[in-house]
Structure 1
Amino acid sequence: MSMTAEEKPIVGVKFLTVAEVALVMRVSKMTVYRLVHSGELPAVRVGKSFRVPEKAVHDYLRNAYFDAG
């Protein structure tokens, strides 16, 4: 029996708090909340807070990279 992406267990995924994401990205927590609410940065809601997969942060930064020259 094959599992879909939604059915596969999340094992070994490291989740970061909004504050941790802000430190990694060197932006404010409000900027992280804006990215989460706009859908640019995927997150999981846990109670009243959000958790962001670490890989999603690295993917976002990799895709947002701008070579100035």
Structure 2
Amino acid sequence: MNGSGAHEAAPLGRFLTIADIAETLNISASQAYGLVRSGELPAIKVGAAGHWRVERTVLESYIDAKYEENRRHGLWNQSEFADIPELSIGPR
């Protein structure tokens, strides 16, 4: 507790659960599970039941990479080559 009497949230540990990931990314647990199962978001299974865990730094890197991906996509769309269909990088 600090001097103001307010409780500070304890920092989360090194590894995050699927629920933690879902909350951080503001998505459903099934969407977070899909990111892990597809390998888009690297994770490990721990324990006898094989619960998925994502290292906090891995999630932060994933978020940074998504920002970079969106930035590059925006720059591409502004480029002189964006109107050439053969070079288009739209949804697949």
Q: Given the two structures, how large is their TM-score scaled by the length of structure 2?
A: 0.55
Identity among equivalent pairs (%): 35
Measured on the aligned residues, the alpha-carbon RMSD in Å equals: 1.8
Unaligned runs of 5+ residues in structure 1 are 1-12
Tell me which protein shows more helix as a share of its residues. 2
Give the Cα separation in 1 of the matches to 2:66 and 2:56: 16
Q: Deviations over 1:16-48 (max 9, x none)?
A: 010011111111111111111111111111223
Structure 1 runs (4+) greater than 3 angstroms displaced: none
Q: Given the two structures, how large is their TM-score scaled by the length of structure 1?
A: 0.72
Within 5 A, what are the aligned runs for 1:14-53? 14-46=14-46, 47-53=49-55
Say yes or no: does 1:58 pair with 2:56.
no
Give the Cα separation in 2 of the matches to 1:36 and 1:57: 11
1:54 is displaced (CA, Å) by 0.6
1:7 maps to none
Tell me which protein shows more strand as a share of its residues. 1
Aligned with 1:50: secondary structure? strand
